[in-house]
Chains A and B, each alone.
Chain A
Amino acid sequence: MTAVLRCDGVHKRFGATHAVRGVSLHVDRGEVVALLGENGAGKSTLVRCVAGEIVPDEGGVWVNGAHLEQATPARAAQLGVAVVHQELSYVGPTSVAENLLLARLPRRRGAPFLLDRRRLVEQAREALARIAPDIDVRARMADLRVGDRQLVEIARAVGSGAAVVLMDEPTAALTAAEVEKLFTAVASLREHGVGILYISHRLDEIQRIADRAVVLRDGAVVGTQRVGDVSRQELVAQIVGRQIDAFRREHHAEPEVGDGRRSLEVTGLSVPGRLRSLDLAIRPGEILGLYGLAGSGVELVAKALVGAVPSSGEVTVAGRRLSRRTPATCRKAGFAHVPSDRREEGIFPLLPVGTNVAIAALADRGAAAVVTRATDRAAGRRWTQELDIRPRDPDVPVAALSGGNQQKSIFARWLAIEPKVFVLDEPTKGVDVGAKSQMYELIARVAEQGAGVLVISSELPELMSLCSRIGVVTRGELVGTYPTATVDEQRIVDLAIGGHDR
């Protein structure tokens, strides 16, 4: 057997992050290899290296024995790499046939500027024959179902003579019937000697269609095995793999149970198509964690709660029901929201730290209120001092601060209005280790002072050490909430991967 794809000692760093650390793997002709790993394990980075989107710092990628040098997507495609992205790219208003043959539309003999429609349809049917013979090539692409569009995309990728196909979470948006069609297509590709690198969180699917499974953790390969030789539990253990007790901190005392007071009560929170009827309750002083894999819907919970994305459901803050939820009404109700994307949604990069910190408190005073620069400066001085934000200068633009200090400024913005509930979305993303532990202390402190805290994080150890309970979101649903003392990381990841009883 010959390898259609070989990665040899691939390293990739982004600034201080070492995303891929010396990964070697291969995919043989007609083989389906599953690539597994937690969020941030390095799967996407590796796939982008193979697809020619980014160039590895060290090591190399070989396709059909040819070295992918001076990597560009075009070069990778030329060597035989086809990529089926999570987000499909197609021209909606045109026909399936035209989409299939976009790069090499058949021309009329003698009049090369005219399209040969007859041959177009013939060639398109040929291209689809192996993968999805029942799709009408004359239909408009936009009128197809998601699954069918994906099959067309695969056919297009393979049609141009692909040796290896990369599939990134191909079943994420598919119905059960569509998944079956996809698997038939995968089987057909395999028969024709095409190699497939298949990325998915869904272990049940992998056990059905993959030959081998490669597990990545922290950017390195931690296991390669034939799928038939391992159990689901063993795979989960490899995926999680940490020394489970390493991060654990002693738990702060369970808050009084049963006095019935709630900082935050959520019933039936739903975002159409993404999140189904989420129920939550957080007591004053409690830190509740929410965990879910990428695409599970957990990333939407915070925005849905504060009304930044359209959602339905009831939210009650400290006994007061919010009739209309917008970030402004939520702020007034005592709701602090630290968004996950600090750069895009958190900071005002060019404004000074003082104004960045003061903005929520200023908003509380109303637009007509009179302020001076001293107002912002005083807020800046107070909070740079209290939260150890460096430099201790309220006048520098916040963009000049490190990630951790920026995050503290956003935290300070909310502390200033003394909120009753904190919703923290990925509070330590892109924050250095030192600032991380300061952030943890801060979170613990606001809880001790009586606020209810919801921490949404893809870093499980963080949740295990901070939270008294952890809720798990899978495919848009909260599958359960568990006291941290009664579960371990493996169990949580197992639940997050889901699909046991499906």
Chain B
Amino acid sequence: MTHQSSAVPLMARVRPVLSLEGALQSGAALVVIYVGLLVAFTIASPVFLTGSNLLNITASVATLGIVAAVQTAVIISGGFDLSVGSTAAFTSVVAAEMLSAGVGAPLAIVSALAVGGVIGAGNALVITRLNVNPLIATLGMMSIIRGVALVWTDALTVVYPADQLAYLGRARIGGVQVSIVFMLLTFVAVWAVLRYTVFGRFVFAVGGNAKAAFLSGVHVNRVRTLVYVASGLSAALAGLVIASQLIAGSPQAASGLELSAVTAAVLGGASLSGGQGRIWMTLVGALIMGTLTNGLVLMDISSFWQTAVLGVVLILAVALDQVRTRTRRKG
């Protein structure tokens, strides 16, 4: 969400985009990269540009998109949440265990979400009260949650009755997977909060200069706490979608989801130094990653390479952030 002026004359707004710096700042570069990617894969594979494949891509980024949307807000607030992958796996297990124990779906869903929220609150507590760096705090939480999930399930997948939970992920509405709808709803919610509430302003203010926000009378810790709780909730929603898609809860699921989410947000222009980020560009970032994976599969490249490619994209995204910061200082 950059505040661009409507009062600025059109040319003044267009001209910067024509330069490299302008392109980097506005996110136009990202869209160009994405289109390039689509063209390349279309040439490389005949099945790539088909309606069903494009829907596949979108569905495959649904869980990523859900956590990446909120991750963007976390990064804007100057934080970081690496625990989302573990939390998604853990909450998928929570839901599956409850369903297989015969508890109704509504309670299972609410419990999974509650667990996600509590994990987020735990992150916030460690970060705001114990003053632990967010990277370390959530890295620790990532390990703890994954460990607990593995101990609980003996590293086994938890299957639940197949007639349950379909509507959270694998069901389709007019051919479109429900998970895509959840992802879009998450993006719209985060966008609306960031843009149309005072809380949204606080998120930008805390990330832009926490000291100034504190001295202006913003409850900085409260803002941080809510952001991490939201991140935990988004991870739980992703976990429910996963549980629905697998018809099971898996303690091994969603490994690496946190890195993908950070990559998508940073690709989209969220600055690791906080205070900046564009929610819709994160969606483009997530699509780029899903498209890359899908394209590599179609080109019959080993899935192990995908992991390596993810690393390359993450480093490129952060390097891009550095270039952006530098050009911003010059300007």
Please report A residues at the B interface, Cβ cutoff 8 Å: 306, 308, 326-332, 337, 339, 344-352, 354-355, 358-360, 362-363, 365-373, 376, 393, 395, 413
**Which B residues, 37 to 79, have Cβ-Cβ distances below 8 Å to chain A?**
none
CB-based nearest A residue for B4:
A395
User: Which of B202, B213, B215: most chain A CB closer than 10 A?
Assistant: B215
Q: Is the CB of B3 within 8 A of A360?
A: no
- What are the residues of chain B within 8 A of A368 when measuring CB–CB? 197-199
- What are the residues of chain B within 8 A of A371 when measuring CB–CB? 196-198, 201
A332 vs B217: C-alpha distance when bound (angstroms):
8
Q: Is the CB of B8 within 8 A of A395?
A: yes
- What are the residues of chain B within 8 A of A365 when measuring CB–CB? 198
- What are the residues of chain A within 8 A of B3 when measuring CB–CB? 351-352, 354-355, 373, 376, 395
Q: Is the CB of B217 within 8 A of A367?
A: no
A367-B223, A373-B3, A393-B5 are known contacts. Are A350 and B215 too (CB-CB below 8 A)?
Answer: no
- Give the shortest distance, in Å, between A135 (CB) and chain B (any CB): 35
A348 vs B5: C-alpha distance when bound (angstroms):
18
- What are the residues of chain B within 8 A of A328 when measuring CB–CB? 217-219
User: Which of A329, A347, A348: most chain B CB closer than 10 A?
Assistant: A348
Of all A-B residue pairs in the complex, the 8 with the closest CB atoms, nearest first, are: A331-B217, A395-B5, A348-B208, A367-B199, A328-B217, A369-B198, A352-B3, A362-B198
**Which B residues, 195 to 238, have Cβ-Cβ distances below 8 Å to chain A?**
195-199, 201-202, 204-205, 208-209, 211-219, 222-223
The answer to the question of B276 belonging to the interface, with a C-beta cut-off of 8 Å to chain A, is yes
Q: Is the CB of A346 within 8 A of B212?
A: yes
The answer to the question of B7 belonging to the interface, with a C-beta cut-off of 8 Å to chain A, is yes
- What are the residues of chain A within 8 A of B198 when measuring CB–CB? 362-363, 365-371
From B7, B201, B212, B214, contact of A395 by CB (8 A): B7
CB-based nearest A residue for B222:
A367
- What are the residues of chain B within 8 A of A355 when measuring CB–CB? 3, 201, 204-205
- Give the shortest distance, in Å, between B232 (CB) and chain A (any CB): 19
CB-based nearest B residue for A355:
B201
The answer to the question of B275 belonging to the interface, with a C-beta cut-off of 8 Å to chain A, is yes
Chain B 150-188, CB-CB to A under 8 Å as 1, else 0, gives: 000000000000000000000000000000000000000
**Which B residues, 68 to 96, have Cβ-Cβ distances below 8 Å to chain A?**
none
A350-B208, A355-B204, A355-B205 are known contacts. Are A306 and B215 too (CB-CB below 8 A)?
Answer: yes
Contacts across chains A and B counted by CB atoms under 8 Å? 107
From A346, A363, A369, contact of B217 by CB (8 A): A363
- Give the shortest distance, in Å, between A375 (CB) and chain B (any CB): 9
Q: Is the CB of B197 within 8 A of A345?
A: no
A368 vs B192: C-alpha distance when bound (angstroms):
12
A365-B198, A395-B5 are known contacts. Are A327 and B212 too (CB-CB below 8 A)?
Answer: no
- Give the shortest distance, in Å, between B58 (CB) and chain A (any CB): 30
Not counting A355-B3, A368-B198, a sample of 19 additional A-B residue pairs whose C-beta atoms are within 8 angstroms of each other reads A326-B217, A327-B216, A328-B217, A331-B216, A331-B217, A345-B209, A348-B275, A351-B204, A351-B275, A352-B3, A355-B205, A359-B216, A366-B198, A368-B197, A371-B197, A372-B195, A373-B3, A393-B5, A393-B7
A97 vs B4: C-alpha distance when bound (angstroms):
61
- What are the residues of chain B within 8 A of A345 when measuring CB–CB? 209, 211-212, 215
A327 vs B205: C-alpha distance when bound (angstroms):
15
Q: Is the CB of B215 within 8 A of A359?
A: no
- What are the residues of chain A within 8 A of B197 when measuring CB–CB? 367-371
A345-B211, A367-B197 are known contacts. Are A360 and B217 too (CB-CB below 8 A)?
Answer: yes
- What are the residues of chain B within 8 A of A348 when measuring CB–CB? 204-205, 208-209, 212-213, 275
Q: Is the CB of B218 within 8 A of A363?
A: yes
